[in-house]
Amino acid sequence: MPDLTLLYVVVFFALAFDYINGFHDTANAIATSVSTRALSPQVAVIMAGCLNFIGALYSTGVAKTIGGDIIKSASLVNQQVIIAALFGAIVWNLLTWWFGIPSSSSHALVGGLLGAVITASGIDAINMIGIEKIFLSLVLSPIIAMGSGYLIMIGMLWIFGRFSPHSLNAGFKRMQLLSASLMSFSHGSNDAQKAMGIITLALLSSGHIPTLEVPMWVKLSCAVAMGMGTMVGGWKIIKTMGGRIFKLEPINGFAADLNSAIVIFAATNLHLPVSTTHVVSGSIMGVGSAKRVSAVRWTVAQQMLFAWILTIPFAAVTSGLMYKAITMFI
């Protein structure tokens, strides 16, 4: 298959990953506001889709981290490697979406890249310093979100605790429009860049661009794919995020979304990829723990943790097998 055709296949798979990432991770942006009935599902997904699109155009720092920090050199990968990596990530995302399990598209993509690159070029092709930085951001971000979510919720209870529950619910239902908007924008600013980084890496490795700078058409196409996917809405995961971890009230939903948006946007500005799913889940657990630790359904959290642990190895093995299959025919 000609190199240019393979590049088109890479772009297709990357945009498909971005689209699936959009509806897989819609819950991150709107689950809390939908579960508290602050927003109707239809309005929420349209708002999230539009703000995901705008957020995706914010910067390209995360894209450069994904495209430049995982492997030592773009010359060590080809289009077959990138196709296999995306395939592994897509399979995991679809599998977890089907069962309504919140999982990390970021972890899946990193796992897919690791599996495909190691299968093709060996472990020496991996940039261990870059991987350590990415892993630290992926692992620490939900822990930070849990701690800061707890503190934000404690502070809000201290400030607003004297108001009646009815007044609080009415006020924070309106405020959730703001927090859900911030969350949607921050989600787009971090997650859409991952597909941008993959396409840019493919363009660099094939000699179509001289440096790891994201072309405008890549930014726009990834932003559109993310926005369209978000508008579809991943309803199965929304139910898990919005109600099964902790029974949310409007003040809790506002605190969780505000906290998540702050953590994700900070990571974006530091050019660090984070799992928005993990950050939002950590925020909800932290906010729930501020009410009382037993209010959080830790059995659901354990199921999610198990899925998170499996994400990277599953995507890595799947992408490695896919690379073997591709090289048999191409």
Domain residues of the chain, as ranges? 3-329
pLDDT at 10 over 70: yes
Q: According to the model, what pLDDT value does residue 237 have?
A: 59
- What percent of the residues of the chain are helix, what percent strand, and what percent coil, each to the nearest 5? 80, 0, 15
Q: According to the model, what pLDDT value does residue 187 have?
A: 85
Highest mean pLDDT among 47-61, 211-225, 301-315: 211-225
Least confident of 103-107, 203-207, 249-253: 103-107
Q: Which amino acid is at 13?
A: F
Q: According to the model, what pLDDT value does residue 103 have?
A: 72
Q: According to the model, what pLDDT value does residue 152 have?
A: 95
Report yes or no: 257 and 33 within 8 Å, Cβ to Cβ. yes
What's the mean pLDDT in 216-241?
77
Distances in whole angstroms, Cα of residue 259 to Cα of each of 138, 153, 203, 292: 16, 9, 36, 18
Q: According to the model, what pLDDT value does residue 28 have?
A: 64
In angstroms, rounded to a whole number, what is the distance separating the alpha carbons of residues 327 and 110?
21
In angstroms, rounded to a whole number, what is the distance separating the alpha carbons of residues 252 and 153?
7
Q: Which amino acid is at 163?
A: F
Q: According to the model, what pLDDT value does residue 294 have?
A: 63
In angstroms, rounded to a whole number, what is the distance separating the alpha carbons of residues 123 and 219?
30
pLDDT at 128 over 60: yes
* Sign of the Cα pseudo-torsion (223, 224, 227, 232, in order): negative
Contacts 24+ apart (CB under 8 A), 156-165: 156/251, 156/254, 156/255, 157/290, 160/251, 165/249
Neighbours of 219 (CB within 10 A): 21
What's the mean pLDDT in 306-316?
84
What percent of the chain clears pLDDT 70, i.e. is strictly above it?
Answer: 89
What's the mean pLDDT in 88-113?
84
In angstroms, rounded to a whole number, what is the distance separating the alpha carbons of residues 255 and 242?
13
What percent of the chain clears pLDDT 90, i.e. is strictly above it?
Answer: 30
Of 158 and 45, more confident: 158
* Torsion of Cα atoms, 144 then 149 then 152 then 155, to 10°: -110
What's the mean pLDDT in 157-166?
83
In angstroms, rounded to a whole number, what is the distance separating the alpha carbons of residues 88 and 81?
11
Average pLDDT, the chain: 84
In angstroms, rounded to a whole number, what is the distance separating the alpha carbons of residues 33 and 250?
7
Reported as type and span, the H/E element at residue 120 is helix 105-121
